[in-house]
Structure 1
Amino acid sequence: MKTYILATSAVLLGATAASAAGVERTNQSVAPLFENGRYLEFSYAHISPDTSGVGGLVTPGAQSGDLTPSYNQFGFAYKADINEKFSYSLIYDQPYGADVDYPTGTGYFAQGSTAFFDSDALTAVLRYKMPNQFSVYGGLRYQVISAAAVVPFVTAVPGVTPPYEANADSDGAVGYLVGASYEMPEIAMRVSLTYQSSIEHELDTIESSVLGSGVASTTKIETPQSLTLDFQSGIAKDTLLFGSVRWVEWSSFEIAPEQYVALVGSPLVFFDDDRITWTLGLGRRLNDQWSVAGSVSYEETTGSPTGNLGPTDGFTSVALSAIYTKGNMKVTTGVRFIDIGDANTRVGGAVPGGIFEDNDAIAFGIKIGYNF
């Protein structure tokens, strides 16, 4: 049982900070579904990225300045048993996001550009335990997204004709998830495979540019489908090996307002490649109250160009956490350092429009869980 407590605590490490993949800020984990009995948790993370670049074919040599402000993430989950075979969980997270603010006065072509992309999601999952240590689960996910952007360099005559601007109303839509798991509690082993469907949104958008002011359009955004393999197992007394392999179809994701595409010839935000993220970690129980865990995550840098509002390409990260257990309460604190992969951005047909190298982020998180 003590090894199992370590197991369910150590896997929380991945939720203490956001992912650097695409615009994904959580891995949409269903881990609360596997907690014992009735369970409630709250989580908070503060992420501080440092992302800057230099002009390539456009404004060569001009420094962009740091374009990514710090941000916060919140989440909660509730899990309960219906009977010996059925249990359920309600999970709230903020799975996708972006916040871009290019400083002015730099001479960089994108100076003064701002954008945000926000999301909130509530997932309801039902699990059925079979008698052979296998279980299956599935559920629905309701997701709301919103977006806006101001891009001053998309104009006929800078400072004279109006810059490009878009404001999109929020839109809610439903997706689904299905999964299966196998467990051996006596050695804290669990392997689970979870599929999350894509979710299609249509955002009512008002665009303004040299093509017209206050023009209504519809922006279609499809958040990507994903497949995640999570695993954990005790490998020695009080020692846990854990990790995951996660595939996300980022090639299907783009934000492409009509006027922007007509003016620039490419989407506002896009990613050419799908992504696979690998995570491997170890957890160690020190005593009845304290456990520690560490993990390494990796996502390949592909070299494909990106949009100017998402200038990242893969990452490597290291995370450390400490878990304090007292009675029915667990408090997990963690820190994660992310080395963001170098990226070249595209401006119309120009590649590289900007060159982004040697960027990073640091995140701090806390999660409080209670079994009752």
Structure 2
Amino acid sequence: MRATFHLKTLAVAVATLSVASITNAAGLDRSGQDITAFLQDGTYAEAVYTYIDADVSGYDSSNNNPGDNRYVRGNATGDIAESYDFFRYGVKTDINDTFSIGVLYDEPFGAAANYEGDNNFVANTNPAQSAGEFANDQVPSGPIGNAIIGAEATTAGQGTNVEVRSENLTAILGMKLGADKNFQIYGGPVAQRVQADVKLRGLAYGPATSYTSHISPDQDYGWIAGMSYSKPEIALKAALTYRSEIDHSMDIYESYPLAPTIGGIGTPPRALPATQVTNMELTTPKSVNFDFQTGINPTTLATAKVRWVPWGDFVITPPLYNEVSQSTARPNGLDLVEYEDDQWQVELGLAKRLAPALAVSGTVGWDSGAGDVTTSLGPIDGYYSVGLGAKYNVTPEWAVSAGGKYLWFGDAKGQLPTGKIVGDFQDNDGYILGMKLSYQGK
């Protein structure tokens, strides 16, 4: 006779692996857009806190000539990755044996980087030194070179900085199908809010040094759809979830001190302002998540997560920044941020119930990254990870979980949109800590 083991006997092991789950991945991916709270049985609610601390350091390029793309190892950058934290919430309940509803909140996309110290991503505190570098033909002389010296002087000591924040609120309606209600289809609307600040400082950015932009918060809408299958007698659940792109139309303030000096495309060059407030279009990427779990024996659960995000299609194109970069060779100008490749993530795990109220878990993970070379504002090319977690049921309904994950980041070269390599970042790592409070009732 085939052995069976009901999900109830494994309940304490379920969800121990998602405390410090897929985070700090390719592109701007943060939360992994987890929807497993909606896949839980009965009435379920969770609140998850995640803290990420990464060490990302490398060397700038001592070649500051914007027309020469050769990388020449220069000064150490120090740790550019700022620690950050975020929350995830979820609540779900069954209306009857056919219909379920849920609401999920997460912070799906973000970035936090800051350069400090003596390197070419920090505005020079000694304009005479910048002038000396010009004299040594490391950067061009003439009006543009003089303007760069002036821009460096006005932002002296300031470092390159980027901060991107986003929030998602997802409403889901599910309908179970089949005689045993093993199949479910689900979907619903998604509200997304995005904002960003970028400061480019230092000789690494050539004429773009001292560029600043502030993207005001904008809220727009998309949708989610998926299907799942469950077999409770072996604790099996599988779900495939699609999230749509979300188009944003955002107000953006830009300051580009050298824009009037450089001018726009044309003969003579078209006059451009040093500052402007205008509108920018931004599309956050679609994604596909696959979540799987199955019981191996009455006390052991195996899980797998796979995620795909087409970061190769994603760009950030501020209007003034783009206009300044237009030329006869590049009539369409440059994007501020772009990625070469799409992202794949895989995470495998095991959870073991050690006692009626206690379970532990372990995971291994891989992220493909979004290509090397990558942007100087986030120079990481994927990662490998290992994680540990534990869950304790304080009562049959209430549980507390905690977990951690260690990440080895892939080496990456920081590249400007012009193709110039301005940094080399190797042998970096980071860690993630998470805590979860959850409730599950029938």
* Higher share of residues assigned helix: 2
- 1:32 aligned to 27, 30, 37, which one? 37
Aligned counterpart for 2:14 among listed residues 8, 13, 17: 8
Shift of 1:157: 9.5
Report the residue type matching 2:14 in the other structure.
T
Contact 2:90 2:103 in 1 (8 A): yes
The Cα of 1:155 is off from its aligned counterpart by: 5.8
Bigger-Rg structure (1/2): 2
Q: Tell me which of 297, 307, 318 is aligned to 1:257.
A: 318
What is the distance in 2 between the residues matched to 1:128 and 1:156? 56
Three-state SS of the structure 2 residue aligned to 1:186 is helix
Contact 1:142–1:172 (Cα < 8 Å) also in 2: yes
Counterpart check, 1:234 vs 2:295: yes
Cα deviations across residues 207-239 of structure 1 (Å, max 9, x unaligned)?
Answer: 111223331222222111111111110112201
Question: Do residues 68 (structure 1) and 73 (structure 2) align?
Answer: no
What secondary structure, in the 3-state scheme, does the structure 2 residue paired with 1:61 have? Answer: strand
Q: Distance in 1 between matches of 2:369 and 2:440?
A: 40
Unaligned runs of 5+ in 2: 1-6, 62-69, 124-158, 260-272, 326-332
Please identify which structure carries the higher strand content: 1
Checking the alignment, whether the CA contact within 8 Å between 1:205 and 1:218 is kept in structure 2 is yes
Aligned residue for 2:312, secondary structure, equals helix
1:137 aligned partner, one-letter code:
Y
- 373, 387, 396: which one aligns with 1:305: 373
Q: Does 1:106 align with 2:106?
A: no
Equivalent pairs: percent with the same residue? 34
Q: What is the identity, as a one-letter code, of the residue corresponding to 1:243?
A: A
Describe the SS at the equivalent of 1:8: coil
Aligned partners of 1:269 and 1:310 also within 8 Å = no
Aligned partner of 1:325 among 372, 393, 414: 393
Q: Which residue of 2 aligns with 1:361?
A: 430
Q: CA RMSD in A?
A: 1.9
Tell me the residue number matched to 1:224.
Answer: 285
Q: Which residue of 2 aligns with 1:345?
A: 414
Native 8 Å contact 2:27 2:369 kept in 1: no
* Residue correspondence of structure 1 range 79-118 to structure 2 within 5 A: 79-103=92-116, 105-109=117-121, 112-118=159-165
In structure 1, the residue matched to 2:143 is none
Give the Cα–Cα distance (whole angstroms) in 1 for the partners of residues 362 and 401 of structure 2: 12
The separation in 1 between residues aligned to 2:206 and 2:414, in whole angstroms, is 19
Q: How far did residue 346 of structure 1 move? A: 1.2
The 2-side partners of 1:19 and 1:348 are apart by: 23
In structure 2, the partner of 1:190 is: 237
Indicate conservation of the 8 Å contact 2:13/2:360, yes or no. no
Q: Distance in 1 between matches of 2:411 and 2:18?
A: 28
Once the two structures are superposed, residues 109-138 of structure 1 have per-residue CA deviations (whole angstroms, 9 ceiling, x without a partner) of 456111111001100011111124111111
Q: Deviations over 1:159-194 (max 9, x none)?
A: xxxx21111111111111111111011111011111
Look up the SS of the partner of 1:261 in the other structure. helix
**Deviation for aligned residue 1:256:** 1.8
TM-aligned CA distance change 1:59 to 1:216, over 3 Å: farther
Q: How does 1:42-191 map to 2 (within 5 A)?
A: 42-56=47-61, 57=70, 60-103=73-116, 105-109=117-121, 112-131=159-178, 132=180, 133-153=182-202, 154=205, 156=207, 163-191=210-238
Counterparts in 2 of 1:270-289, with a 5 A limit? 270-289=338-357
Aligned residues: 366
**Could you tell me how far 1:62 is from its partner in structure 2?**
1.4
Q: Please give the alpha-carbon distance, in whole angstroms, between the structure 1 residues aligned to 2:370 and 2:255.
A: 34
Q: 1:221/1:13 Cα in 2 relative to 1: closer, same or farther (>3 Å)?
A: same
Following the alignment from structure 2 to structure 1, what is the Cα–Cα distance between the partners of residues 12 and 292? Answer: 14
Change (3 A) 1:304 1:141: same
Structure 2 CA distance for partners of 1:2 and 1:361, relative to 1, 3 Å: same
Say if 2:19 and 2:436, in contact at 8 Å, map to a contact too.
no
Alpha-carbon shift at residue 348 of structure 1 (Å): 4.2
Query: Shift of residue 263 of structure 1?
Result: 4.2
* TM-score of the two chains, using structure 1 as the length reference: 0.93
Distance 1:302 1:24, change over 3 A: closer
> Where do 5+ consecutive residues of structure 1 fail to align?
none
How far did 1:262 drift?
3.9
- Closer, same or farther: CA 138–301 of 1 in aligned 2, 3 Å: closer
In 1, are the aligned partners of 2:211 and 2:255 still within 8 Å (CA)? Answer: yes
Q: Give the conservation status (yes or no) of the 8 Å contact 1:307–1:346.
A: yes
Preserved contact between residue 207 and residue 259 of structure 1 (Cα < 8 Å): yes
